[in-house]
Amino acid sequence: MPAVISKFLEKAEETRQQLKIPRNVFTGAVVAVALVTYTYKVGYPLVESYIHRTNTQQDSVNNNLLVTKSSLNGISRKKSQDTALGKYKPKKCEKLSYIEKIVMKIPGINHQFILQFLRLMTIMIPGVFSAEVALLFGHTSFLFLRTFLSIFIANLEGAIVKYIVRKEPKNFAKQLLKWFAIAVPATFINSMIRYLESRIALSLRTRLVEHSYKLYFKNQSYYRVTVLDGRLDNCSQRLTDEIETVATMVSHLYGQITKPLFDILLMSIALANLAKSRDANLITGPILITSVVMVSALILKLVSPRFGQLVAQEAEKKGYLRHVHSRLVTNAEEIAFYGGHKVELTHLRSAYRVLAQHLQHMFKVKLWFVMLEQFLMKYVWSGAGIVVVSLPILMAGSKKVEPIEDDGVKTTIADSLPALTSSGDDGDSGLSLFNAKPARTSDSISERTHYFTTAKNLLMTGGNAVERLMSSYKDIVELAGHTGRVANMFTVLEEVSQGIYEKTLVEKKENMDGFNVEFRNGQPVSKGKLVYTAQTELILKDVPIVTPNCDVVCSSLTLHLKPGQHLLITGPNGCGKSSLFRILAGLWPIYGGELHTPKNAMFYIPQRPYMVIGNLRDQIIYPDTHVDMINKQISEDDLIRIMRIVHLDHIVERDGFYAVKDWTDILSGGEKQRMALARLFYHKPKYALLDECTSAISIDVEGEIYQAAIDSGITLLTITHRPTLWKFHTHMLQFDGAGSWTFSKLNYSNKLELKKEKEDLVNRGETELTSDRLCEINKLLGEDNNSNANST
């Protein structure tokens, strides 16, 4: 690359000579073109955005997600944030102070971010005597030592250069030995700084993870935040990547800010003492440096992009891409059966294309900003630093110095400063010693070299410190985006655990059969009561069945079920059978009426049971742990007896209780359903909610399991389409699909005769008479009319 640039410069020089263009004119033109190009690059987007105000809501709709303006900043709705962050609600007539107005104008760093960050800090550092404070104290101590070490090394480098100029090998060797000796503690301090920074990041992340997990599993928030609330997209990414990013950036920024502050303070003191030793003006240099830094900071602030918003958008698009991948993995078998790889590939490419375009935009924005940042901090500041360091030498006053004897070589700068004067008859400015021997001239040059080298190193260290402080602003703005997303997640999880939901794009439903879902601020209000009683009866009083989308499938359900009254629930698809189970289990809110139920008396078994990570014993006792099993005084012999009831004892003989395998793939569909039923016999709840949980089990085994459950004293609430299970139930709850229902005792023989009559009519063929009769039978049986074709 350097060779290519050199050839390019040579070619440009040849062209200039051929055109006979003066070098100063050619150089000025190149600089002018670069400045005009950069001004156009920075100014055009600002002018364009001011003239053409874009619709942020419309531009933010991508990835098939509705993203509001607040979410682009990594922040949720203002209402939820105010609830979690001290309920900060400034009135329209409220006047902000001058400082508050300045802070609010800074992109990404505003009142909301400060409150969010303070909230996270109380989680990451819970107290003064916490382990995090000890780590921060140790980290601060090593940063302070590193600053003192930098001053010592700067002075040591100056001494080495001085003795090189003096041609004193002995003193040079001594200083070089000091250099190697200081390298041991210096490398240890640097390593400890990195180690403690990593430890702090891990400790802060652990605090955030523990807090997030506590909220995530509180009152089944992991289910509610996905099904009942729509504010969090890709919650798994916020629980993992976002928390890690926040902890890492906070730990890094602490050192990124603390170390430069130490450097600036101590380097300023060292430079002032050094300049004072040269009888230099202590006002000119600091004023010049401060002016350059303030002007540079003002320029960078004016042209700084909204890094917080860009980072939040990047995290959102990465989360959506990961969501598309996870959907593909979860539904791989179904997609393979359908042959839908082309559609899924289109979704993946679309999600990645949106992310790639956003990253390209970020790279372009950073390119010009970093260019300006490096120009100001590297070259403008370095030039100003050279001027400040040179001033004590260039502007030193004349001082008469007494002659020094030959043994005066040992005289230091503190004993006698060299005198600077102008000499030369031709008027040229030069440096000489007044009434000094040649050795003293050499000593004067070495002292000046020592001063200049030391001052330059100190100033470079201080300049790097200011540069890190200026650069940390960009990191703070990026941190604001991640902080907003994490704080928003904590707020939503806290509200969801308290039963406060905000479903996006929810449609307000009209009155249905006398029941109307009440809305407040555009969100449904659950006005029902869930009462946990010491009795064993299950009572529903005027409880409506309402889905999370506010669809009322049943306006009012009243039911009184006692232990031993086994309930069969029938009805067409979408009538609310499974929805009733979710309400009984406490997963869905109750929008009206009252539900009286014993606490921890429900055990739900779905059609597709969940296999946990672990051994065979863990599959049986889930959601208990081995400790819970021991506390319940249940032995492995009891587990073997349970496995015999569900006809899975052959798996115990084959694999044993301690083999850890992927049971989801090893067990067949029927075996997984029987494994779920084994959990029923292990826990022995008062009520069992069975939702088509035996559809893959043979009829004979199914009957044995149901009879064993009844003998164990478990009251069954079953959703099934198999007539062979009717005989195990005493009552029937039948939905008609139009919002009505009937609750009565189950006449097994009568229902069975209706089922046989239906099969005969289907076998005869459909006529007008048979069609009417089939509709009547389906209504009595609680089945769909389209189930006629599936009857055998």
pLDDT at 688: 93
pTM beyond 0.75, yes or no: no
pLDDT, tens digit (0-9, with 9 covering 90-100), for 95-145:
444 444 444 444 456 788 888 899 999 999 998 889 999 999 999 999 888
* Helices of type H across 92-168: 98-105, 111-124, 131-166
The number of CA neighbours under 13 Å toward the Cβ of 644 is: 6
In whole angstroms, give the CA distance from residue 347 to residue 659. 39
pLDDT, tens digit (0-9, with 9 covering 90-100), for 697-731:
998 899 999 999 999 999 999 998 888 888 889 99
Closest by CA position to 581, among listed 745, 719, 714:
719
Residue 295 has pLDDT above 80, yes or no: yes
Residue 92 has pLDDT above 80, yes or no: no
Higher-confidence residue of 192 and 68: namely 192
pLDDT, tens digit (0-9, with 9 covering 90-100), for 113-122:
888 899 999 9
In whole angstroms, give the CA distance from residue 657 to residue 679. 15
pLDDT, tens digit (0-9, with 9 covering 90-100), for 197-211:
999 999 999 999 999
Mapped onto helix, strand or coil, the DSSP state of residue 559 is strand
In whole angstroms, give the CA distance from residue 6 to residue 11. 9
What is the mean predicted confidence (pLDDT) over 206-218?
Answer: 92
78, 79, 84, 89: CA torsion to nearest 10: 80
Pick the CATH number of 529-746 from 3.40.718.10, 3.90.1260.10, 3.40.50.2300, 3.40.50.300: 3.40.50.300
What is the mean predicted confidence (pLDDT) over 76-89?
Answer: 39
Burial (CB count <10 Å: 0-12, 13-18, 19+), residue 274: buried
In whole angstroms, give the CA distance from residue 584 to residue 688. 11
pLDDT, tens digit (0-9, with 9 covering 90-100), for 256-268:
888 888 777 776 7
Q: How confident is the model at residue 392 (pLDDT cuts 50, 70, 90)?
A: low
Residue whose structure tokens are 């609330």: 229
Higher-confidence residue of 639 and 274: namely 639
pLDDT, tens digit (0-9, with 9 covering 90-100), for 159-200:
888 788 778 888 888 888 888 888 888 889 989 999 999 999
Domain 56-66+76-497: CATH superfamily, name plus number: ABC transporter type 1, transmembrane domain (1.20.1560.10)
CB 682 within 8 A of CB 664: no
In whole angstroms, give the CA distance from residue 727 to residue 714. 16
pLDDT at 594: 92
The number of CA neighbours under 13 Å toward the Cβ of 264 is: 18
Joined tokens for residue 218: 């509180």
Q: How confident is the model at residue 38 (pLDDT cuts 50, 70, 90)?
A: low
**DSSP secondary structure string for all residues of 629-650:** HHHTT--HHHHHHHHHHTT-HH
CB 135 within 8 A of CB 199: yes
Joined tokens for residue 590: 């109750």
pLDDT at 484: 87
C-alpha dihedral sign at 118, 122, 123, 128: positive
In whole angstroms, give the CA distance from residue 606 to residue 672. 11
**DSSP secondary structure string for all residues of 687-751:** EEEEESTTTTS-HHHHHHHHHHHHHTTPEEEEE---GGGGGG-SEEEEE-SSS-EEEEE--HHHH
- 521-540 burial, b at 16+ Cβ within 10 Å, e below that, comes to eebbebebeeeeeeeeebbb
Domain boundaries, the chain: 2-51, 56-66+76-497, 529-746, 750-782
pLDDT at 646: 94
**Cis omega before residue 589 (within 30°)?**
no
pLDDT, tens digit (0-9, with 9 covering 90-100), for 334-383:
787 777 778 888 888 888 999 999 888 888 888 888 788 778 777 777 77
Q: How confident is the model at residue 424 (pLDDT cuts 50, 70, 90)?
A: very low
In whole angstroms, give the CA distance from residue 162 to residue 362. 48
Joined tokens for residue 463: 């300049």
What is the mean predicted confidence (pLDDT) over 43-54?
Answer: 54
pLDDT at 630: 92
